[in-house]
Structure 1
Amino acid sequence: MNDPIEQFDVVVIGAGPAGAVSSSLLNQKGYRILVLEKQHFPRFSIGESLLPQCMTYLEQANMLEAVEASAFQHKNGAAFSRGEEYEYFDFREKFSAGWGTTFQVQRDNFDKILADEAQKQGVQIRYGHSVIACDPFADKRQLSVQSDNGQRYQVHAKFVLDASGFGRVLPKMLNLEQASTLTPRQSIFTHIQDNIDQPEYDRDKILITVHPLHHEVWYWLIPFSNGRASLGVVAPTELLETMLGSPLDNLQELVSQGGKLANILKNAQYDTQVRTLGSYSCNVTSLYGENYALLGNAGEFLDPIFSSGVTIAMTSAGLAASTVHKQLSGEQPDWESEYAEPLKTGIKTFKEFVEGWYDQRFQNVVFSKTKSDDITRMISSILAGYAWDTKNPYVKNPSRLSTLAQLCQDD
């Protein structure tokens, strides 16, 4: 006799930030939600520097209080270093309305807090359960699921949200993957006991350092509240392929070349596995389809330079949840105009600034001493995650960055 098929209004694939927030928002509307998570929490994840825009979605999902109670590192801006140059943007001094501060978080704890809060609100999460097939079925989606103990079962869902991150479950199953237009790059990263003893070092900001000789090579240093930090370097794939050491050796060698960064980290203890991630930029042919939509990294991932990943994930979760609610309420939402196009507004903005970082247009702006206070506030807003605020001229027309960079260079 066949096992009964379980019925849910929405199945969410993945319990990371996009999955937790979207499931919470839909649960608030009274829908029966199931989250299927392949891994067991807590688990390591990269992408620890949040942007203030995230706080809006944490509030909406009733998760902010739990996050604030968790003693994560306060964050109020982003600092940039290149040779002897040092500039910073204070997110509290920005063009857009909204939060000006946020947190720098160890993602294993942060993601578990969000998932736990979703469960407390009534969302069902099954850890160690993988979606192995997703097929259309009448006006639903039929998912084949396998637990990590080998159990298999079927689930019917009126709608499926893929929040699987780099796992990209539905893009792979439904042949939606598309090559990114961004240049392939690779990152090497780890967590360290930073032992930073310089009193002038600002733990309230992520520090982005440009390699003194290779402008396309950059480092992140994200301090946590417990004396530890996330450390990583991003470089063209072909450059890293010339380095013959272990990932740890290569990371330490590159840090030794990092100018001021090398001195900041002179006492650091490398006590955690060093990981690598290559060709991470990705895209899809469509962000939605028949009774499904892609959230966050499952749809498109740009680059870690501006810590936009979690912000895009949460924004997609908010947009998708409201559009799914319309559809399940009997309306016929236009997924292109109500989900894909609004989401792509912010992605387009971040993408222009990512490309501008690597071709040095945005580096020229960052390190310019002549940019006005108004321009600084507009740029600060984008770096704070407000890449959807079309009142900002650099969101309404991101290509204005080229003109700004030229003005900064000429000055």
Structure 2
Amino acid sequence: MDQSTQVLVIGGGPAGSTAATLLAREGFEVTLMEKEVFPRYHIGESLLPSCLPIMDLLGVREKVDAYGFQVKRGGYFDWGGEQWNLTFGDKFEDLTFSERFVDNNYGYQVPRADFDQLLLEHAKSQGVTVLEGVEVKRLVFDGARPRTAVWSPAARDAQTQEHETGFDFLVDASGRAGVMTTRYLRTRRHHEAFKNIAVWGYWKGAKKLPVGPEGAIAICSVPDGWFWGIPLHDGSLSVGLVNHKDTFKLKRQRGASPDRIYREAIDECPAIADLLTPAELVTSLRIEQDYSYTAERFTGPGYFLAGDAACFLDPLLSTGVHLATYSALLAAASLSSILRDEVGEDEAQDLYERTYRQSYFRLLVVVASLYQQYRGKDSYFWEAQRLTLNDCSATDLKQAFVNVVSGIEDLRDAQATLDLAMDAGGKVVAEEFRSTNTVDSMPPEDHELVQARMQFFHSAMVSQDVRGLCVVTKPRLGLARP
């Protein structure tokens, strides 16, 4: 089955299915290859409001709303001895890609097997050629530009005949496996401060969280890490413990099993322990590395890295699906304009690189700030205000925090012209100077925060070549200078 396509997408998760669907709806020929056969299990069940406007663009919003997923209108933090609610506010109405008014003040709590399959089936309905159960064995390059994928059935008992698919552009949405970054580029950098281990399982019969907004995720710190508690529409509660790998390794060396580590941590967390008092663990525990990382470059000749293939962030703020769908939107808009000869490839890739990297490092800074539990919640709100390039009153710090951790700030940046970042140049330079001049006085464990903050401000400085570009959705998806 040798063939060719305009755009090849590797990976059928939210990043891949979103990019493929958006491109297909623009009239381009798109082929998506996925190693697994859906539905398949995946962690990352808590979605942010930023996903909703993108679902409008996909034409899948009504399908998702009708599925019955648990609506999530915010979160509850029991963090570092302080408790507070995070409610997705009423200031998101300007972020709709629909002709009608829609409520964008919520996210979802989703079993990813169901949600990801829904998105992939929708991609098929929009004209994407989807090949499930196939593995990309290798890529063939013309210089530094990938041109052909060599693939075969992924099943062990399947015939091993290889096939080739040529393409003009590649969207690598292959997740943490990272076809381009791990096999060819080898440019992935791990963040030493966020090499964590997650242990989680699913409980039945748990109490409902007595505080917080409807469907809230519970985020609770414990002495050696933190817990998530995510209510799902089937009545189960996803409960996960995140420890640094060194802490987890030390406990294992002292003879503690993963089950013991997990249950002893529950006993140290009153909020989670109370929810689970009447409940029963109905699954075996799962264990996974949550090592945060970023690739040195998110784009290159003929390719875009999207979602976890480009970067992965600690799950503290539930940003996985946001970064996946947001990067997919940026990639699809960039490719649409490239393929229509509206902008040059280098110009579009510069915008993608800057915008996606800025989003990642803004969230990394907030996560790093939260890990410094001794600073208190007011400092987290101040940090968010510093990372906001849009107008934000210093008296409305909590709203700045909500905008950042809900992903809404990223969507606003993408829709605004890049003049915004240039106009914010004074703030950028001042904050970069501040970060540079404090790094020597900070303890080593805080260097990751400072470095991430400096990366964010560097990415906010826009080159003259892409000044004024923004993502547009009307009359069609692409990049433009209004």
**TM-score w.r.t. length of structure 2:** 0.75
| Identity rate, percent | 27
Q: 1:27 matched to which residue of 2?
A: 24
Cα distance in 1 between the residues matched to 2:395 and 2:105: 16
Cα distance in 1 between the residues matched to 2:67 and 2:36: 23
Cα distance in 2 between the residues matched to 1:353 and 1:83: 15
Residue identity opposite 1:257 in structure 2: E
Q: Does 1:311 align with 2:308?
A: no
Cα distance in 1 between the residues matched to 2:316 and 2:46: 11
Deviation at 1:31, TM superposition (A): 1.3
Bigger drift between 92-101 and 229-238 goes to 92-101
Q: Does 1:218 align with 2:230?
A: no
Q: 2:280 aligns with which of 258, 263, 269?
A: 269
Residue identity opposite 2:407 in structure 1: G
Deviation at 1:177, TM superposition (A): 3.0
Cα distance in 2 between the residues matched to 1:278 and 1:259: 25
Q: 1:341 aligns with which of 346, 349, 354?
A: 354
Cα distance in 2 between the residues matched to 1:366 and 1:269: 37
Q: Does 1:75 align with 2:85?
A: no
RCO higher in structure (CA 8 A, sep ≥6):
1
Deviation at 1:268, TM superposition (A): 2.3
Q: Does 1:104 align with 2:112?
A: no
Q: 2:131 aligns with which of 126, 130, 133?
A: 126
Indicate conservation of the 8 Å contact 1:129/1:146, yes or no.
Answer: yes
Alignment of 1:158-173 (within 5 A): 158-173=168-183
Cα distance in 2 between the residues matched to 1:326 and 1:51: 27
Q: Does 1:382 align with 2:404?
A: yes
Distance 1:14 1:362, change over 3 A: farther
Distance 1:375 1:365, change over 3 A: same
Residue identity opposite 2:137 in structure 1: I
Please state which structure has a larger fraction of its residues in helix: 2
Q: 1:157 aligns with which of 159, 164, 167?
A: 167
**TM-score w.r.t. length of structure 1:** 0.88
Deviation at 1:322, TM superposition (A): 1.2
Q: 2:191 aligns with which of 177, 181, 186?
A: 181
Alignment of 1:283-294 (within 5 A): 283-294=294-305
Bigger drift between 149-158 and 191-200 goes to 191-200
Q: 1:206 matched to which residue of 2?
A: 217
Distance 1:232 1:340, change over 3 A: same
Q: 1:191 matched to which residue of 2?
A: 202
Q: Does 1:230 align with 2:242?
A: no
Indicate conservation of the 8 Å contact 1:52/1:101, yes or no.
Answer: yes
Bigger drift between 9-18 and 267-276 goes to 267-276
Bigger drift between 255-264 and 81-90 goes to 81-90
Distance 1:379 1:152, change over 3 A: same
Q: 2:450 matched to which residue of 1?
A: none
Structure 2: unaligned runs, 5 residues or longer: 96-103, 386-393, 414-419, 439-482
Distance 1:84 1:329, change over 3 A: closer
Cα distance in 1 between the residues matched to 2:355 and 2:6: 24
Deviation at 1:355, TM superposition (A): 1.0
Structure 1: unaligned runs, 5 residues or longer: 404-411
Deviation at 1:306, TM superposition (A): 0.6
Cα distance in 2 between the residues matched to 1:172 and 1:83: 37
Partner SS state of residue 28, structure 2: coil
Q: 2:309 matched to which residue of 1?
A: 298
Deviation at 1:189, TM superposition (A): 1.6
Q: How many residues align?
A: 393
